[in-house]
């Protein structure tokens, strides 16, 4: 009975003592740990605070990390406000408890290393904070620098997490930490297996950390070594490299390097000679080696190691890479997971490359469709087509200067750019092109001259600096599927615009009277004229239509490319290649040509990403070879004009 009473009294006394303890008393147990912290001692200080389980600890850690904790001359710790005299704030209750002069107070200024330790300890409190932003910040901190100490707090916080997205992040981070720092093999392997479908960069980083290895050499393979691979001299490295590794490990006599040889020769110069050999004759490697051998014979230098001795020494040892991780089951699971992820990453990279190629093909299609109309129907090689693209882009820029709303200005710019370039195209056709039909060389020369004139006119009006054509806010950013696959919203918009134009052009050509007349003139101008169609009028409208489409393409291209007077030259070559490869005068052929060139260019750039000029060269060579075998393009024009 007495023993039971004493035990109850001890429990009550412990509870009362714990309740009476406050943060100040915890700090005063060893105040120097907090007043003069170092990275080594801060871990003990933080551990003491965490063990106290006091509600004021998280705030104190935040203040301490932010250099907002002060110590009075009597050793007591406070927060302060004001500039002097300071108002003292009790660190336990947060209440004002008096004032103090500046001379009585010393600010505690932990260095960056100490603040990092404090920040790591703060994470466990922030994981359960009522503020979701603070919980998210804690997860960011763990993701940047997670340790084994975060495992238990993170696991404990998952059940109480009210936000589904944050809960999912916590579970994923727990799997990443468990894979690295789990206490049991089964737990680590299970965590690794759960990550095998995740291709994110952080997952691959964790798996690579688990699979990190170190090169080693030994007379025999040490027992219990988790071997990553056995390195074979003669296959994975040369015999001399293997021997150098032996020498570096202290398992063989070191070889004579050039530095050792030179130092020995210099140290043994006597009266202008080395071992009787004049210094002036030591101007070749053979002469220096011969002089060094004389020093070896005299016992004044380290001897060379014969090649057969090196071979024998290498064959007597095992060269291997050993995993830093000792548990073979963990490394086997990590290797299998990383292999599966690498395969998935390859598939995703192919998908990403395909998206880039489709995006580029959309741009080339927009740039070339107008040229396909004029070149296909009229047979005119218009070297100024790129300048109509440039005119459309500058039209969009001017509209944005007048209408500051980027969405509204874009809606206005598209029809205005069509009208401006349509008018310019009709004017050009009436004044120049109509006089040069059936004279392709003169047409090429004339349009090339017009191209230069239009570029100079743009420079005179807008200057030589690039002008911004800003996209609306809803086109900012990118559609990201995962860490590998993503595409910007601007490129998606250009792809959609290309599809709209494809549908519009097909509708005009297949469902309207103008389209019927254009197709008739394309197939047989003489027969079309005999049927009452005016080829001269059709040529004018066709050239204007092709120019107007180029203007709209210029607005779209200008949203992500630089708007300068030379921007048209960046697309004129690709536009002609697209039309020729696809098939002259055929919309589907233009689409096929744009797709082929877009995929081809991206494929070449993938294998040679550091040299885009080489990619362009290889692409042109491929197209030259292609048209040798299919001169009429992918989709050849049908009808009487096909043979012209």
Cα separation, 395 vs 393, whole angstroms: 5
Q: Give the β-pairing of 70-72 and 77-81.
A: antiparallel
Q: Give the β-pairing of 478-480 and 318-323.
A: unpaired
Q: How far is CA 167 from CA 46, 129, 143, 153, 172, in A?
A: 27, 14, 14, 13, 9
Provide the pLDDT for residue 40. Answer: 80
Q: Indicate the pLDDT class of residue 8, thresholds 50, 70 and 90.
A: very low
DSSP H helices in 379-483: 385-402, 406-431, 440-462
Cα separation, 47 vs 40, whole angstroms: 12
Average of pLDDT values for 596-625? 79
Chain centroid, CA 260 distance in Å = 45
Provide the pLDDT for residue 579. Answer: 84
Provide the pLDDT for residue 376. Answer: 65
Average of pLDDT values for 342-350? 92
Residue 430 has pLDDT above 60, yes or no: yes
Domain ranges of the chain: 23-115, 127-210, 212-252+310-330, 256-304, 366-568
Burial of 633 (0-12, 13-18, 19+ CB in 10 A): buried
Question: Per-residue pLDDT tens for 143-172?
Answer: 888 888 788 888 888 988 899 999 999 999
Provide the pLDDT for residue 344. Answer: 93
Residue 640 has pLDDT above 60, yes or no: no
Provide the pLDDT for residue 336. Answer: 95
Cα separation, 22 vs 332, whole angstroms: 50
Residue 20 has pLDDT above 70, yes or no: no
Residue 237 φ/ψ region, left for φ over 0, alpha for ψ in the -120 to 50 degree band, beta for the rest = beta
Q: Which of 134-143, 298-307, 405-414, 501-510 has the highest mean pLDDT?
A: 405-414
The torsion angle over the Cα atoms of residues 555, 561, 564 and 568, rounded to 10 degrees, is -70
Average of pLDDT values for 261-266? 88
Asked if residues 639 and 588 have their Cβ atoms less than 8 Å apart, the reply is no
Cα separation, 179 vs 173, whole angstroms: 10
Give the predicted TM-score (pTM) of the model.
0.70
Indicate the angle between helix axes 328-378 and 489-511, nearest 10 degrees: 40
Cα separation, 521 vs 538, whole angstroms: 8
Q: Indicate the pLDDT class of residue 1, thresholds 50, 70 and 90.
A: very low
Question: Per-residue pLDDT tens for 63-109?
Answer: 888 889 999 989 999 999 888 788 999 998 889 888 998 888 899 98
């Amino acid at each position: 009975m007495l023993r039971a009473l004493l035990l109850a009294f001890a429990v009550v006394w412990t509870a009362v003592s714990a309740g009476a303890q406050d943060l100040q008393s915890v700090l005063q147990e060893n105040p120097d740990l907090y007043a003069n912290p170092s990275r080594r001692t801060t871990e003990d200080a933080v551990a003491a605070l965490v063990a106290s389980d006091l509600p004021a600890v998280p705030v104190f850690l935040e203040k301490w990390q932010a250099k907002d904790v002060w110590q009075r001359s009597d050793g007591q710790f406070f927060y302060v406000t004001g500039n002097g005299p300071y108002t003292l704030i009790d660190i336990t209750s947060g209440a004002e408890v008096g004032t103090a002069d500046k001379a009585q107070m010393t600010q505690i200024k932990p260095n960056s290393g100490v603040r990092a330790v404090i920040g790591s300890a703060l994470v466990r409190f922030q994981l359960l904070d009522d503020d979701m932003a603070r919980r998210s910040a804690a997860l960011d901190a763990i993701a940047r620098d997670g340790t084994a100490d975060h495992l238990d707090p993170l696991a404990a916080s998952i059940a109480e997490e009210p936000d589904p997205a944050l809960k999912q992040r916590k579970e994923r981070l727990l799997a990443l930490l468990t894979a690295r720092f789990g206490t049991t093999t089964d737990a680590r392997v299970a965590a690794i297996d759960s990550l095998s479908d995740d291709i994110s960069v952080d997952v691959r980083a964790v798996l690579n950390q688990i699979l990190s290895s170190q090169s080693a050499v030994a007379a025999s393979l040490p027992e219990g070594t988790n071997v990553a691979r056995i390195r074979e001299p003669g296959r994975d490295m040369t015999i001399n490299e293997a021997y150098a590794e032996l020498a570096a490990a202290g398992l063989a006599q070191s070889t004579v390097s050039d530095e050792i040889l030179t130092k020995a020769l210099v140290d043994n110069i006597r009266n202008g000679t080395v071992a009787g050999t004049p210094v002036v004759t030591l101007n070749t490697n053979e002469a220096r080696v011969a002089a060094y051998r004389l020093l070896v014979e005299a016992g004044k230098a380290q001897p060379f190691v014969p090649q057969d001795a090196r071979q024998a020494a290498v064959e007597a040892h095992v060269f291997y890479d050993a995993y830093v991780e000792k548990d073979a089951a963990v490394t086997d699971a990590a290797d299998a997971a990383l292999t599966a992820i690498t395969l998935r990453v390859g598939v995703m990279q192919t998908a990403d490359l395909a998206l880039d190629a489709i995006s580029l093909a959309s741009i080339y299609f927009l740039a070339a469709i107008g040229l396909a109309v004029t070149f296909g129907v009229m047979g005119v090689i218009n070297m100024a087509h790129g300048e109509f693209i440039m005119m459309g882009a500058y039209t969009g820029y001017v509209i944005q200067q007048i209408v500051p709303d980027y969405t509204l200005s874009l809606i206005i710019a598209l029809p205005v750019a069509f009208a401006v370039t349509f008018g310019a195209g009709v004017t050009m056709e009436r004044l120049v092109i109509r006089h040069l039909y059936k004279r392709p060389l003169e047409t090429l020369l004339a349009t090339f001259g017009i191209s230069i004139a239009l570029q100079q006119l743009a420079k005179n009006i807008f200057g030589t600096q690039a002008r911004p054509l800003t996209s609306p806010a809803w086109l900012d950013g990118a559609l990201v599927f995962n860490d590998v696959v993503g595409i910007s919203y601007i490129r998606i918009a250009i792809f959609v615009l290309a599809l709209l134009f494809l549908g519009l052009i097909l509708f005009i050509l297949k469902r309207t009277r103008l389209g019927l007349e254009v197709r008739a003139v394309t197939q047989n101008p003489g027969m079309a004229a005999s049927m009452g169609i005016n080829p001269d009028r059709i040529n004018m409208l066709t050239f204007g239509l092709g120019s107007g489409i180029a203007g709209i393409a210029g607005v779209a291209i200008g949203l992500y490319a630089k708007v300068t007077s030379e921007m048209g030259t960046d697309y004129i070559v690709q536009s002609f290649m697209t039309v020729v490869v696809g098939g002259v005068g055929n919309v589907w052929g233009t689409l096929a040509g744009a797709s082929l060139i877009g995929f081809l260019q991206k494929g070449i750039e993938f294998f040679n990403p550091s040299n885009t000029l080489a990619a362009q060269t290889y692409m042109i060579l491929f197209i030259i070879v292609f048209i040798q075998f299919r001169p009429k393009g992918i989709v050849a024009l049908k009808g009487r004009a096909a043979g012209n």
